[in-house]
A and B are shown apart, each in its own frame.
Chain A
């Protein structure tokens, strides 16, 4: 057990190897435990997500990385029998405080899922939906601007600008995923969570999404769960390795993939356990 100082008079007990702290944290999570009924899925995990940082969560299936990701926007609230303990703070706000309304919280923390899930609506309406319900545009021109900017930032504008009223579901898989990213960033989030965003895409579409993640990282904090270690290596600045619900090691991506400190991390990233 390592004890780290993380503020003037607070100490943190963690078994995690490496630096769990970020210089300029956007999210701080401390001693997070997650239970599905009696089964503990996350065990005493503490980790910061830095401002405008891209961090990857990796680990074998069932290690808890997606469960931990979903803690950040309280997606676990929707799962029956799921209980989250510990402390997760976005800027200065405890996101699990009873007074917190999850609707604006999820506008601040956007999410992109494994399988592209556009609404059965037009490309335009897919992106415009969020700004409309959150009241981010007061005129049609403002809404048009948000849609255009979001599609441009998602790298999709040039491919769809002439068919904005076509159904979003008619796009290719990679385009649909970029549409979902455009939809997520249309509500001006501060953080984007991505749960295996490329696992259903071909290598070209994957490369486009990875380039997009790189570009988005200049303005947003991004937490990405991925099964592809090469993807984690390519897109993220820090990497966190989970195993059996515990955060085993976290460090700079270039360090994790060249000289990991923990034997379990080494075994996983070099394809010895899975």
Chain B
């Protein structure tokens, strides 16, 4: 069955929405990947560039929201078209937020650059970032290809990041307990790890929206969770 609308301008609008959303997804992924790279390289110019780039994501999200509202008002989308527009609006906001977390990571990294590396706990932020990057790349493929199974896989992968975050949290706490000089840098690292963990959560949200878009029903609410950091007491 031909999947085109009788009204070609409707298709044009939906295609524009899709194109802009994928562009935002690509930008957000780049920002996130660069924020993790910058954590390793600690190049101030790159960090500043990344922080200023965030406005591009904000502007693109605003453009997508405007287009989505116009499509709803002017085209009265139904069924999968309606799900596509509503999902695009929600997913766009999420990618914009992922951009914000990438900027937050960069702000923390910039603060770390000011500190002596001797006073920084040695933890594997890069590994956590890599798994999150894979999730981001996979969810973009799942969205492009309308791949419901891949969406579920991406959602379930978040547990890996949760576990990494819990482990990293323990390591940083231990490091700060051993050496009080590590407290400032350790706190920044905890926030960076938390930002990565939140990006993982946001990717699972995208996976759930994508599943709903494809299937017209929500993904069951039994997603595995393993972030235990909130359970740790002072002792």
Contacts and interface: CB of A to CB of B under 8 A. Distances in A.
12 contacts: A230-B76, A257-B79, A258-B83, A259-B79, A259-B216, A259-B217, A263-B1, A266-B80, A270-B77, A271-B7, A271-B10, A272-B6
B5 A272 contact: yes
The 10 closest A-B pairs by CB, nearest first: A259-B216, A269-B78, A271-B5, A270-B81, A270-B78, A266-B79, A270-B79, A257-B78, A271-B6, A274-B6
B219 interface: no
A272 B77 contact: no
Interface string B192-235: 00000000000000000000000011000000000000000000
A230 B5 CA distance: 17
Interface of A: 229-230, 233, 257-260, 263-264, 266-267, 269-274
Given A257-B78, A259-B217, A271-B78, 8 more contacts: A257-B79, A257-B82, A259-B79, A263-B1, A270-B78, A270-B79, A271-B7, A274-B6
Contacts of B4: 272
A273 B79 CA distance: 14
B83 to A, nearest CB: 7
B116 interface: no
A274 B5 CA distance: 10
Interface in B38-64: none
B7 A269 contact: no
Interface string B1-41: 11111110010000000000000000000000000000000
B2 A272 contact: yes
- Residue among B76, B79, B80, B83 with the highest chain A CB neighbour number at 10 A: B79
B29 to A, nearest CB: 30
Contacts of B78: 229, 233, 257-258, 269-271
A267 B216 contact: no
A266 B5 CA distance: 11
Interface string B152-163: 000000000000
A227 to B, nearest CB: 14
Contacts of A273: 1, 6
A273 B3 CA distance: 9
Contacts of B2: 272
Contacts of B1: 263-264, 267, 272-273
B79 A258 contact: yes
Nearest to A255: B216
A258 B6 CA distance: 19
Contacts of B79: 257-260, 266, 269-270
Contacts of A270: 5, 77-81
Contacts of B77: 270
A271 B1 CA distance: 13
A267 B78 CA distance: 10
Interface string B131-170: 0000000000000000000000000000000000000000
Contacts of B83: 258
Contacts of A260: 79
A171 B6 CA distance: 37
A260 B80 CA distance: 9
A152 B10 CA distance: 42
A257 B82 CA distance: 9
Contacts of A258: 78-79, 82-83, 216
Contacts of B6: 271-274
A267 B3 CA distance: 8
Interface in B95-132: none
Contacts of B82: 257-258
A266 B82 CA distance: 11
A264 B81 CA distance: 14
Contacts of A230: 76
Contacts of B5: 270-272
A26 B219 CA distance: 38
Nearest to A257: B78
Contacts of A233: 78
Contacts of B3: 272
Nearest to A265: B79
B117 to A, nearest CB: 55
Nearest to B81: A270
Nearest to A260: B79
